[in-house]
Amino acid sequence: MSEKQEGYIVLVSEFRNFAGEQMRIECRFRQPTVSDLSRSTLEAAKSPLRSFRNLLLACVCPDDEASLREHLEQYPGVATTFANEIFERMGFGSLGK
């Protein structure tokens, strides 16, 4: 799902939209700071989608920001997909029990 590129990882979301088109959204993200994660987890209780969106916008490669903003407007679920992957890579996850 990802490759290292100049301090960023590439995350890809693939899905079929309501028009039946196969979609592929690819963006580069840096590792979030502890402050980024703290803000996101505090905000998540009030508004999870906004929290995930803000985390992504804080961590996205500047070259990908405009594209990410467009995709988040059209497909808000992408915020959850990418944010969950970032959280997992930072140690948040299931113990498999």
Segment (H or E) for 72: helix 65-74
The model's pTM: 0.87
What is the full per-residue pLDDT of the chain (97 aa) written as tens digits? Answer: 344 567 999 999 999 999 999 999 999 999 999 999 999 999 999 999 999 999 999 999 999 999 999 999 999 999 999 999 999 999 998 766 6
DSSP state of 53: H
Structural domain spans, the chain: 4-89
- The residue type found at 55 is L
Residue that is written with structure tokens 């916008």 in the block = 57
- Superfamily classification of domain 4-89: rbstp2171 (3.30.2220.10)
**CA atoms within a 13 Å half-sphere pointing along the CA-CB vector of 81:** 17
Cα–Cα distance measured from residue 58 to residue 20, given in angstroms and rounded to the nearest whole number: 31
